[in-house]
Amino acid sequence: MAKLFESIGKLGLALAVGGGVVNSALFNVDAGHRAVIFDRFRGVQDAVVGEGTHFLIPWVQKPIIFDCRSRPRNVPVITGSKDLQNVNITLRILFRPVATQLPRIFTSIGEDYDERVLPSITTEVLKAVVARFDAGELITQRELVSRQVSEDLTERASTFGLILDDVSLTHLTFGKEFTEAVEMKQVAQQEAERARFVVEKAEQQKQAAIISAEGDSQAALLIANSLAVAGDGLVELRKLEAAEDIAFQLSRSRNVTYLPSGQGTLLQLPQ
């Protein structure tokens, strides 16, 4: 029995050692990832390992896993425009490495290639592009600026083995002096509009006064012509019309009594 247990123990130990060796000789590459093999004797291998489970030589080889999916990164940059205005820009980049160039990226740059490459080339490209535009053009031609930055940055990143799926300007502000100048300009424009409105109103009132005076003059001329033709008859007619209107208004009032002339009227007066 002792020999049996001893044999079982040796077998279990052998299985455990064998399982450990087999486990150390396997590695997994998840979806969207790639692996680069570092060999202690031959260095970084040129072959890129795809998704799945793979074998390696324990202790001699080591897998370095890279994420090849698109990842976002925001890069803030402070630069100057063509008219020497301070500009604060934040660029959002969707990037991923070229899978076939992973051995070169790992050898020349390292695993943290995005930290080493993206901030520097983004700053370089943004400074070069923004310097071509005035502060006002950066606002009115933002789409053109974004397209130019995207084209230049994509070309620059390709030299490092990176693919930029999207480049966009997410934040664009100017220095305090420029902002105050814009606000002062807007206030000046509003005051100019208000002054123009006052001038136009005065001009309209002037025209109205002229038209009214011309109308009164024309009416006076017509009346004078009528008097010259009809004599006092026109005046008498206007008197009759005025008297008729006054009589009509008085007849509608309860506190007014009409007493015809030449007739006696009996009033009950207290004795």
How confident is the model over 60-70, as a mean pLDDT? Answer: 92
Instruction: Indicate the CATH number of 69-173 among 3.30.1180.20, 3.30.479.30, 3.20.20.450, 3.30.70.3450.
Output: 3.30.479.30
pLDDT for 104: 94
Least confident of 87-91, 100-104, 118-122, 233-237: 233-237
Map residue 173 onto helix, strand or coil: strand
Domain ranges of the chain: 23-66, 69-173, 186-213
Sign of CA dihedral 240, 242, 244, 247: negative
Mean pLDDT value across residues 42-56: 90
Residue 269: pLDDT band (50, 70, 90) is: very low
pLDDT exceeds 90 at position 248: no
Share of the chain above pLDDT 90, in %: 38
Q: What mean pLDDT do residues 249-259 have?
A: 67
**Torsion of Cα atoms, 97 then 99 then 103 then 105, to 10°:** -10
The vertex-136 CA angle with 135 and 137, nearest 5°, equals 90
Element (H, E) at 255: none
Q: Which pLDDT band, with edges at 50, 70 and 90, does 260 fall under?
A: low
Here the tokens at position 36 are 């680069």
**226 versus 26: which is more confidently predicted?**
26
Confidence (pTM) = 0.60
pLDDT digits (tens, 9 = 90+) for 3-35: 655 666 666 666 655 555 556 788 899 999 999
Round to whole Å and give the CA distance between 77 and 87.
Answer: 8
Locus of tokens 């396997």 = 26
pLDDT computed for residue 74 by the predictor: 93
In this predicted model, which residue has the larger pLDDT, 27 or 186? 27
Please state the φ and ψ torsions of residue 265, each to the nearest 5 degrees.
Answer: -130, 125
Average pLDDT, the chain: 81
Q: Residue 191: is its pLDDT beyond 90?
A: no
Q: What is the mean pLDDT of residues 235-247?
A: 75
Task: Place 48 in a pLDDT band, splitting at 50, 70 and 90.
Answer: very high
What is the radius of gyration, based on Cα positions, of the chain? Answer: 49
Neighbours of 125 (CB within 10 A): 23
Q: Is the pLDDT of residue 169 over 50?
A: yes
Asked whether the beta carbons of 120 and 157 are under 8 A apart, the reply is: no
- For 134-222, strand residue ranges (E) read 162-174
Instruction: Give the residue, 34 or 173, on which the prediction is more confident.
Output: 34
